[in-house]
Structure 1
């Protein structure tokens, strides 16, 4: 745990870099999507598919990035990730055809894995100790404003530049803002990063290297044992099912409401209130985390989200009930991010946190990628968005129930479920 002054510096830097990273690497492209399709002649689904490839690449890379982060720390991972993000965006802008465009987005996905929430959460978990929930909450509040800041900024750039020029401008902003902050602010000592095998050159080098290698092998065995345990499997299933249910429902709220006869503008306003609910949920999470252990907290929040989706499926009036249920679903979705961020440390502590959290990031990222189109496809398959919302609520209920099986009993004197 680092000093309060260092914590404030790290949190402030990560607030700025997460807002910028999410805004440029995630929220900006949907704003440019129509311009990309019109200029290239690709269909909207094809153009958006390249972006989805990047998100999938991020999910695939997350476990390896987590293991690397455990070894070298966030300064190197996030610093070079920022460099990769800027360079890969230049590749997107310069892509001569669809193949290279998709490949460039795959590299953007690698950068996302290195600079967005997962490595930031690992840094805050290690450095902030018992203050980690408040620190993570603060950073996610900043990240939650990324779309609010960068969607209109991207639209403004598109008025004066082509989509390629806009992408280049955003790459420059990403580099100028995030590379120096990651290099200058993420400087506290990182456990395990001081020495690796082969770095010692004095007389005891062989013995020291063997000690380091044994420790590394012990950590790898711990990660394998933990990640293959039943509670961890329950955790992954919980994150995947509830992520798909909550993201699928909230991201398809406009077509769901218009199918029920609501005007598009009214539906869009209600959809916007989901974001307000997310902020409310994140503000309230620290108080909730101090009252319930991790499994009960997850079951309560995700069960509440399932009820909100079910209310939307059952009732189409009065309007205020629909609004309240939409905001409530947003509350659950906002807290979902924090549940995912603290799920590993609250159950298994901070040992090998980067590696374990990288694995836990995979189902959440896959759910985020699959939910928009997946829920829409589900609605087509079952014949209506109403029926699809019943099924999404059921998936979320199952995930909430699985949360109760994700608790870990202490063994050997080690506390594995943490109450803050």
Structure 2
């Protein structure tokens, strides 16, 4: 394994960073995201607050995370992950305490707004930036795959743990216990595990261009293929110009629409199967096996990067999300629906890795944090809106069958838009390495 910048981290340092993020991102998603749907009914019944208000408060936190994605990305580009991710863990802990003890709606909603600030600093986007900037191109996909495989278990671990705590403690004390877990695991892990010299954007910008590059950087250049140099360096690399370009706007639109479809399926799969007369336990089994499918999909991603170019790969993954959503809409038996749920999970599991590699494969790594923050914003917004959107479409169209077919149509649109998402020099090219 070769570090992306050998003067910054050793091989053992890279392993430490990856192990740290596998643990902390899993815990962060489990505590700050997946615990909420488990506790939702209990919070509503105990407080008397409507589920509409509760989900709106939760969505507000996700929306703030989207807004903060760009400034967090800029900070990461300049300073690295250690301080901001540690701070995010501290803020997340305080937010959960406020949520747990909030005596009224305004304070409860405020707690989720604070939690949104933490999400921006501890979820996938900052972790993706960290691995992308520290790992070389040849090892980057493997590292990102390992991270998403680990974090894909967040719901598997924390949904039943949250249910167990709820049964014995009630929802408020459950959140206090989860806050303690978040603090005990992620605060010291981020501070200890993410130390090391950060490869600044200036280092990436001069990569392969001669001039004032340091001797260590020039030695590194000699060990990289010419294709690596072309992939990491773009002729029009100013981030503001990139973010206004048609390929970037198409990419953000396509991934945002696909995120809307994928998360609407997750939230509405159980009520859809219940509408067709299946038990809650059977529907929950299908949802859980969909999570298993996500792991399968992520294991397949490295092979997919070797055999497809960036535009084809993007279109195939987004089309798979659309088609599996349509299957869920038309199939009616338990066996076929479970199979379709697994297939949908495989497609859905590829999307985070597609997002993680989208910027570096098109525009290099020099401004990865900032551009990924901008790319993540519409994804996080649609993720926040998806629970409401799926149920609203079902009400409008008279049932979940029509709703899932409509969602599949949105996915088809996303696939078509994605065909415009590759810069001309990248369209159809299989990446090197």
Pairwise same-fold verdict (TM > 0.5)? yes
Distance 1:267 1:159, change over 3 A: closer
Structure 2: distance between partners of 1:399 and 1:124: 27
Q: Deviations over 1:309-347 (max 9, x none)?
A: 222333325x44333222111111111111111111111
Is 2:147 the partner of 1:139? Answer: yes
RMSD, aligned CA: 2.3
Bigger Cα displacement from structure 2, 303-312 vs 100-109:
303-312
- In the alignment, is the contact (CA less than 8 A) between 2:261 and 2:386 conserved in 1? yes
Distance 1:310 1:31, change over 3 A: closer
Structure 1: distance between partners of 2:28 and 2:240: 31
Shift of 1:221: 8.4
- Structure 1 stretches of 5 or more lacking a match? 196-219
Partner of 1:379: 394
Is 2:136 the partner of 1:152? Answer: no
Distance 1:10 1:95, change over 3 A: same
Structure 1: distance between partners of 2:319 and 2:244: 26
Partner of 1:61: 68
Shift of 1:194: 10
Secondary structure of 2:13 counterpart: helix
Shift of 1:288: 0.7
Is 2:334 the partner of 1:329? Answer: no
Partner of 2:134: 127
1:13-412 equivalences under 5 Å are 13-129=20-136, 130-192=138-200, 222-317=238-333, 319-410=334-425
Distance 1:102 1:153, change over 3 A: same
TM-score normalised by L of structure 2: 0.85
TM-score normalised by L of structure 1: 0.88
Bigger Cα displacement from structure 2, 246-255 vs 260-269:
260-269
Structure 1: distance between partners of 2:325 and 2:381: 20
Distance 1:33 1:257, change over 3 A: closer
Distance 1:244 1:192, change over 3 A: same
- In the alignment, is the contact (CA less than 8 A) between 2:305 and 2:431 conserved in 1? no
Distance 1:383 1:35, change over 3 A: closer
Secondary structure of 1:343 counterpart: helix
Structure 2: distance between partners of 1:297 and 1:221: 23
Distance 1:168 1:275, change over 3 A: same
Structure 1: distance between partners of 2:157 and 2:278: 29
Bigger Cα displacement from structure 2, 132-141 vs 42-51:
42-51
- In the alignment, is the contact (CA less than 8 A) between 1:59 and 1:361 conserved in 2? yes
- In the alignment, is the contact (CA less than 8 A) between 1:250 and 1:329 conserved in 2? no
Secondary structure of 1:290 counterpart: helix
Q: Deviations over 1:330-367 (max 9, x none)?
A: 11111111111111111111011100000111121122
- In the alignment, is the contact (CA less than 8 A) between 1:82 and 1:179 conserved in 2? yes
Secondary structure of 1:405 counterpart: coil
Secondary structure of 2:307 counterpart: coil
Shift of 1:369: 1.2
Distance 1:92 1:9, change over 3 A: same
Structure 2: distance between partners of 1:177 and 1:297: 36
- In the alignment, is the contact (CA less than 8 A) between 1:244 and 1:368 conserved in 2? yes
Shift of 1:417: 8.2
Structure 1: distance between partners of 2:54 and 2:266: 23
- Structure 2 stretches of 5 or more lacking a match? 204-235
- In the alignment, is the contact (CA less than 8 A) between 1:347 and 1:417 conserved in 2? no
Distance 1:341 1:100, change over 3 A: same
Structure 2: distance between partners of 1:146 and 1:65: 23
